[in-house]
Structure 1
Amino acid sequence: MPRRSVRRGTALALSALLLPVLAACGGSEDKKETAGKDTKADQKGSDSLVVYSGRNEELISPILEKLEKATGTKVEVRYGDSAELGAQILEEGKRTKAGLFFSQDAGVLGALSAAGMLAELPQKSLDKVDAAYRGSDRDWVGVSGRSRVIAYNPDKLGKGEKAPDSIHELTEPKWKGKIGYAPTNASFQAFVTGMRVLEGEDATLKWLKGLKANGKTYAKNGAVLDAVDSGEVSLGLINHYYWYEKVAELGEDKVNAKIHFLPGGDPGALINAAGVGILKDGGQGEAAQKAVDYLLSAEAQNYFAQETKEYPLAAGVTNTVKGLPALDSLDAPKIDLGKLESLQETLTLLQKAGMV
């Protein structure tokens, strides 16, 4: 099949599935999103850059203000859910107003790449980030990373018992009623997508059914962590930075929960990336490229490390969070993050498992 036909089919499929996924599953990251909010995003000109941001306004607006000053380019932003904005970009096609797409999730970037919507990035930009956190077609790059972890309450574990080293242990009878998770959350769904890619549909569905039998559902990662901290559940599946944010706010001595980074390339140790891609039909390539380079700069990378407790992904910048393991010390599963685009298949499995 010709490449154009493949891309058109991908685009049609994505635009058809992303909004239903969003509607059925919520789809947003745990931090508060402002879906559909425009900040002068209906204008496009050579002296401005329109950013479609799947990262929330409260989190990202400070760094975009710094970007504006550093690059001398007027930045206009449309905030929303990453999947929703990805579908909108596909619907807009060559008429897109976006010059830069800032996604919370690598999977949506992978979907836009497969649809041929993103421009190839220069090698000097790509070389700043490890190949594991950039698109295999050279058209998107990660700017910050987050690891999936198991949160646990030591007081709820047996004497001498440790947190599980694999998500596969969570389906054991001893954990019945003791696990918290957020099935409608984007980060959980990205992890399930990764598990599907790594272990197949049947194995993942079996695991999901086992987790449902043992678990309690929550709306967000933060709620899962709170449940673990209070002892409502013994274990929880979350992103690492929720624990570090809670500790920064309250002090480690005031937080009962601990977190465990899983070894052995376990699917539960997925490291996902928030990243950016330049829309090749947005007509703002020069301004967008300046933005990409700024987001990979030491100033921006340190912002993500210090303010959001995520992993900076550009070479030469390390995390500054006390007690956070170095990124290269984590034993994450080997996976092409662009393949996390298959959201519809994940939703289907979640529905079969009775989770959504």
Structure 2
Amino acid sequence: MRLEISFAALAASGAILAACGGSDTTGDSRAANDAAAGESRVVNIYSARHYDSDRIIYQRFTEETGIEINLVEANGDLLIERVRADGERSPADVIVTVDAARLHRAEQAGLFQPIEDQDILALVPAELRDPEGYWLGFTARARVIAYSTERVDPASLTGYEALASEEWDNRLCMRSSDNAYNQSLLASRIIANGEDAAEQWANGIAANLAVPPSGGDTDQIRAIAAGTCDASFVNHYYYVRLANSETPEDQAVANTVALYAPAQEYGGAHVNVSGAGIAAGAPNPDEAREFIRFLLSDEAQRVFAEVTNEIPARSGVTYDNPRVEAVAAWARDPVNLGELGDHTEAAVRIFDRAEWP
């Protein structure tokens, strides 16, 4: 199932958009000039993201540049297959998806062209973008350990490997091994420790499961709060969403669960991205570059942090979300995310052999 939307006539969301700051006068002037010349500028965005933050940014981009967005949405792997199947007929200008492994697969399938604009690439730390410039991350997310504050001594937590030890027998909840986030986490363990050690780790995690894998990250956090298990691996923003919620039930869950990120001596927190690249056959490459640049603007980066609880890819961006600020300060695994994609196939093979369903 996909959804195609034109954002030219999208109604303003006043309270949230007002928080995004004033409009860019250069963009306004350019839009006015285009309109005067009778030109119609468009950019076709193929996205695997389905967040309110993105719709705010789409509208703001159109307001400031005069470029209309045509949106095609689909889940991550389906989106890549859609563009691949369309081949040279594809109208895609920008491909947006989550997880470095998917970005790597899209690159290997020849779906991207190099961004080439060094000013754009320089906005993103080198570890959060493809070494050859085919894609870049515009938000970051840390996959860390969620644990019960009632049943777990945080002093017992070290690195990701700790949860594979016997002391965690019958104490873990996990998403399934076919989840892209877990596959990238395992790929990071391959890079850090080698394939044999990574397979032992995956088997150790599977041996410590309290219940069969099911559900998403929020389900794992709720299971910890309910006493079903004591710990899991989750992306930080699922927890922050609960902690920032005004719903008493969500707050009660967050009050009994905390996040632990491995310190630098244990390799740092595993970080992944939402990322974007310019489609290989983009019919509107100039507009595509403008859109990617806008994703990295102070305005857009602030919306991602405040609305979706993601970590801005750019450093030095100010935003009002103390819990995200705390996550952004954690030590990180310094591996280049492009390298994760090189090891994802090995991670999938290990999961196929392991007892982690």
Same fold (TM over 0.5): yes
TM-superposed CA distance for 1:169, in Å, is: 1.2
Q: In the alignment, what sits opposite 1:127?
A: 122
Question: Structure 1 residues 279 and 258, CA, compared in 2 at 3 Å: closer, same or farther?
Answer: same
Distance 1:90 1:339 in 2: 22
Q: In the alignment, what sits opposite 2:242?
A: 246
Q: In the alignment, what sits opposite 1:262?
A: 262
Q: 1:149 aligns with which of 138, 144, 163?
A: 144
TM-superposed CA distance for 1:275, in Å, is: 1.1
Q: In the alignment, what sits opposite 1:350?
A: 351
TM-superposed CA distance for 1:270, in Å, is: 0.8
Which residue identity lines up with residue 167 of structure 2 in the other structure?
K
Which residue identity lines up with residue 106 of structure 1 in the other structure?
A
Query: Which moves more between the two structures, 283-292 or 90-99?
Result: 90-99
TM-superposed CA distance for 1:259, in Å, is: 0.8
Superposition pairs for residues 126-275 of structure 1, below 5 Å?
126-157=121-152, 162-183=155-176, 184-215=178-209, 216=211, 217-249=213-245, 250=247, 254=252, 255-264=255-264, 266=266, 269-275=269-275
TM-superposed CA distance for 1:71, in Å, is: 2.1
Which residue identity lines up with residue 87 of structure 2 in the other structure?
G
User: 1:208·1:350 contact (CA, 8 Å) conserved in 2?
Assistant: yes
Which residue identity lines up with residue 356 of structure 2 in the other structure?
M
Residue-pair matches, total: 317
Distance 1:163 1:63 in 2: 42
Structure 2: gaps of 5 or more residues: 8-38
User: 2:44·2:92 contact (CA, 8 Å) conserved in 1?
Assistant: yes
TM-superposed CA distance for 1:353, in Å, is: 0.9
Runs of 4+ aligned structure 1 residues displaced above 6 Å come to none
TM-superposed CA distance for 1:141, in Å, is: 1.5
TM-superposed CA distance for 1:53, in Å, is: 0.4
Q: In the alignment, what sits opposite 2:77?
A: 83
TM-superposed CA distance for 1:328, in Å, is: 6.3
Q: In the alignment, what sits opposite 1:54?
A: 48
Distance 1:233 1:294 in 2: 42
Question: Structure 1 residues 328 and 57, CA, compared in 2 at 3 Å: closer, same or farther?
Answer: closer
2:1 matched to 1:38? no
- Aligned residue for 2:224, secondary structure, equals helix
TM-superposed CA distance for 1:111, in Å, is: 2.7
User: 2:311·2:328 contact (CA, 8 Å) conserved in 1?
Assistant: no
User: 1:106·1:340 contact (CA, 8 Å) conserved in 2?
Assistant: yes
TM-superposed CA distance for 1:59, in Å, is: 5.0
Q: In the alignment, what sits opposite 1:109?
A: 103
TM-superposed CA distance for 1:109, in Å, is: 1.9
Distance 1:118 1:77 in 2: 18
> Which structure has the larger Rg?
2
Q: In the alignment, what sits opposite 1:309?
A: 309
Distance 1:176 1:272 in 2: 28
Question: Structure 1 residues 333 and 77, CA, compared in 2 at 3 Å: closer, same or farther?
Answer: same
- Aligned residue for 1:162, secondary structure, equals helix
Which residue identity lines up with residue 287 of structure 1 in the other structure?
E
Which residue identity lines up with residue 282 of structure 1 in the other structure?
A
Q: In the alignment, what sits opposite 1:26?
A: none
User: 2:40·2:67 contact (CA, 8 Å) conserved in 1?
Assistant: no
User: 1:144·1:274 contact (CA, 8 Å) conserved in 2?
Assistant: yes
User: Cα RMSD (Å) of the superposition?
Assistant: 2.4
Residue identity over aligned pairs, in percent, reads 23
User: 1:94·1:282 contact (CA, 8 Å) conserved in 2?
Assistant: no
Question: Structure 1 residues 161 and 354, CA, compared in 2 at 3 Å: closer, same or farther?
Answer: closer
Distance 2:332 2:44 in 1: 34
